[in-house]
Structure 1
Amino acid sequence: MVINEISLHDFLEEQEQIKEHFVVDSPEKANWVLRKIKALQSKIAGNIALAESEIEKIYAWLEMVNGQIDWDLDYLTGLLTAYANELRHEDPEFKSMNLPNGKIGFRKQQPKWNYQEKTLVQSLKDLGRIDLIRIKEEPDKNGLRKAFKIQGNRVVDPETGMVIDGVSVEHREDELKIEIVK
C-alpha cells in the first residue's frame, strides 16, 4: 500500500484554504456538506468495526495461549498446597517456609460477613437499631422541575415565592442539530 506523503505545512495550508474559502451559502452547498459528514461518519463506523473484529481475534488468541498457562499454574499451585497441608499435618504450628524462589505458608483471615441487605435492614428496624442503617439523601431533580418555577436565573416555590437555595438556572442558546439521513 502506498501512502501519499504530504508535508505538515502543505496539509495545514490545504486545511486553512478550505476553511477560508468555502462558505455554505445555499441549500446545495449545505447538502454537499451533509453528504461529506455522512461519508466521514461511515468511515469512522468502518474503522470501529474493523478494530472491534481485530480486538475480538486478539482476545481469542490471548485466551487460547493463556488457557494452558492457567491450567499449569493451577496444577503447580495445587502441588504446593498439598505440600503445605502435609507440613501443617506433621506440625500443627507450621506457619510458613522461606525458599530461594519464594515463600509458602498460611495466613489467618478475618471472618467474612455475607449480607442479605433487605433482610438485614428489616431486622435492624425490628431491633430498633436504626443507628446502624444509613440513609442516602439526595434531591429529586425531576420533582424539583415539576414543583418549582424559573424566575430569571433562580428557582422559586410558586406557592410561597421563596427562592430555593442550592440550585440556579443557566439559560442556553438554541443548539444546532445536524441529522444525517442513513
Structure 2
Amino acid sequence: MNAILEMELEDLEEVVVDEENKEEAKERFKIKDLDGANWALRKLKAIASKKREIETLADKEVEPYKLEIEKILEWRDNELASYDKSIDFFYFLLEEYYREQRKLDPKFKISTPYGKVSSRKQQPKWNYDEDKLVGWLKANDDKFVKVQYSPMKAELKKAYIVAGNSVVTEDGEVVDGIVIEEQPDSINIKVEA
C-alpha cells in the first residue's frame, strides 16, 4: 500500500462511528459537493487496498502453517470486518449525496479519479400470489397457465397492461394475484483500483 493510501486510513477511526453516534456522524460528514464525494471515494479506495493487503498476507500465511489456519482466518475476518463498517458508512454518505443531487439534476453522476457513482433504472417488480393468479387465469385466460398450473410470467407481462399497482386485461378487468411494486433506481458505486 502506498503512503498516500496509508494517510487516508489514518483518520478513518474518527470518521466511522458506532451505532449510538450515527446521527451525529451523518451531519458531521455529510457530503455536500464533488470534493466531498471525492474524499469518500479516496477513503473507499484506501480501504479496498488495505483489505487486499490483509487478504494477501492471510493467504501467504495459510499455506505454510496449515495447523494455524483457523487462527489466521479468524485474524483476517476480524481485520476485514473493521473495514466493512467503514465501507458501509462511506457508501451511505455517497448514496445520500447522490440522491439529493439527482433530485436537482436527473442526469447527475459523480466521476473522480478515485471512483464513480451512477444509477440505473430498474424495471418494476411483479409480485405474484401464484394460487390466486392461477385460479384467475384458469377461469379467464388459461393460455397463460402451464400444465402444472403455474403462471407464464414472461408472457403475462407482454399480454396484459399495468395500471397503477394492478395488472388489467384489454377489457379493463383486473388480473387477480399480481401486485406491481415500483423499484427505486439502483445506485452503483465503483472505486477505481
State the TM-score bracket (shorter-chain normalisation): 0.3 to 0.5
Higher strand share: 2
Larger radius of gyration: 1
Higher relative contact order structure (alpha carbons within 8 Å, sequence separation ≥ 6): 2
TM-score when scaled to structure 2? 0.37
TM-score when scaled to structure 1? 0.39
